[in-house]
Amino acid sequence: MQIIEQTSTKLSLEDNNWQWLWGIMFSIPFVTVGLLIITTTSNLTKLECQRNNSNAITCQRTIISLFGTEITRLPGQLKKAAVVTEHGTGVVVYTSSGIGAIELVNHRVFIKEKHYKITETINAFINNPQQLGLKIQQDDRWSGFLEGMVFLLPSIAIIFQSLAIPKQIFCQFDKSSDQIIIKKQHQALGIFTQITKLSEVLKVSVTQMPLASRTPWYLIQLELKLGKLVSISSPTRDYKRYQQIVNTINYFIKSKDF
């Protein structure tokens, strides 16, 4: 905040604040991560297997995602299924193709009881010659959405809070009209104007914001006769600079004659 005009009857101050932009820039990576989690893990994966007369089992995997449906025929004949916990792999199947473990889903997962139940169902089918077909699915749509929202919701909240921070504050103390005009311009909400009587001001002071941070943040506030506090600045850590401005404002107010 800086003084842009000072006469015997007027004192004008202006504050250009970029903190709204910092909040948005801080949130963008978390929004990106949240959207990636939702779009890549909110899938429904189906495995369909058939047993032929020679007891050979062939399978087809279908993945239904936000981007469409992907159908893959597994190479070789189904031999067994297992749960791989490393790197959140989840359910894997092995076939006679010799290519090793084939992951059931195409994304990382938190290993849960459902993965072991899917594995047991597949192995039970393999070991039961009387069962000719198997249809099983792993539904990660709801869990993928919730996991993505863990990143997305707080980030969106920070963005909205950032947009509510004034990017510019103009404050004018006018003795001739006995008015204080405060204009706060927001990036998304437009300009808000507040008019207060200069004669209603008891004092102006630097106040510390109630934030749980190692370094305190300060505001310049008007204290009115009715006990109301009106902020006329953006937050800063520079107490000394704000105190110098406050001293100038208080001197201007005390020199008035109403």
Question: Are residue 183 and residue 222 in the same domain, yes or no?
Answer: yes
- Do residues 11 and 60 share a domain? no
The SS3 assignment for 146 reads: helix
The torsion of the CA quartet 101, 102, 103, 105, rounded to 10 degrees, works out to: -170
What confidence tier does 2 reach under pLDDT thresholds 50, 70, 90? confident
SS3 48: strand
d(CA 1, CA 232) in angstroms, rounded, equals 9
Q: How far apart are CA 8 and CA 195, in angstroms?
A: 20
Question: Do 124 and 66 share a domain, yes or no?
Answer: yes
Mean pLDDT (the chain, rounded)? 90
Output the pLDDT for position 50: 95
Q: Inter-axis angle of helices 141-163 and 19-41, to 10 degrees?
A: 170
- pLDDT for residue 202 is more than 90: no
Q: What pLDDT is attached to residue 171?
A: 93
Domain boundary among 149, 164, 179: 164
- Could you list the residue range(s) of the whole structural domain that residue 152 is in? 19-42+140-164
Closest CA to 254 of 3, 1, 27, 11: 11
Claim to verify: residue 48 and residue 133 sit in the same structural domain = yes
Residue 162 has pLDDT above 80, yes or no: yes
DSSP assignment letter at 218 = E
Domain co-membership, 48 together with 84:
yes
Q: Is the pLDDT of residue 212 over 80?
A: no
Q: Domain tally for the chain?
A: 3
pLDDT of residue 31: 94
Does the pLDDT at position 149 exceed 50? yes
Same domain, 171 and 236: yes
Mean pLDDT of 249-255: 87
Sign of CA dihedral 182, 183, 186, 189: positive
Q: What percent of the chain has pLDDT over 90?
A: 60
Enumerate the H helices of the chain as residue ranges.
19-41, 113-126, 141-163, 239-254
Task: Kindly report, residue by residue over 72-117, the tens digit of the pLDDT.
Answer: 999 999 999 999 999 889 999 999 998 889 999 998 888 999 999 9
**Is 177 found in the same domain as 68?**
no
Are 106 and 170 contained in the same domain? no
Task: Provide the pLDDT confidence category of residue 18 given band limits of 50, 70 and 90.
Answer: confident
Task: Please count the other Cβ atoms lying within 10 Å of the Cβ belonging to residue 58.
Answer: 16
Task: Say how far apart CA 145 and CA 119 lie, in whole Å.
Answer: 24
Q: Is the pTM of this model over 0.85?
A: no
Which runs of E-coded beta strand occur in 52-89?
57-65, 68-73, 78-84
Answer whether residue 150 shows pLDDT above 90: yes
- Per-residue pLDDT, averaged over 198-221, amounts to 86
Domain match, 99 and 223 both? no
Residues 126 and 51 in one domain: yes
Same domain, 171 and 243: yes
Per residue in 169-196, pLDDT (tens digit) is 999 999 999 999 999 888 777 888 999 9
Strand order in the sheet with 218-224: 201-208, 218-224, 229-231
pLDDT confidence of residue 258: 45
Same domain, 87 and 105: yes
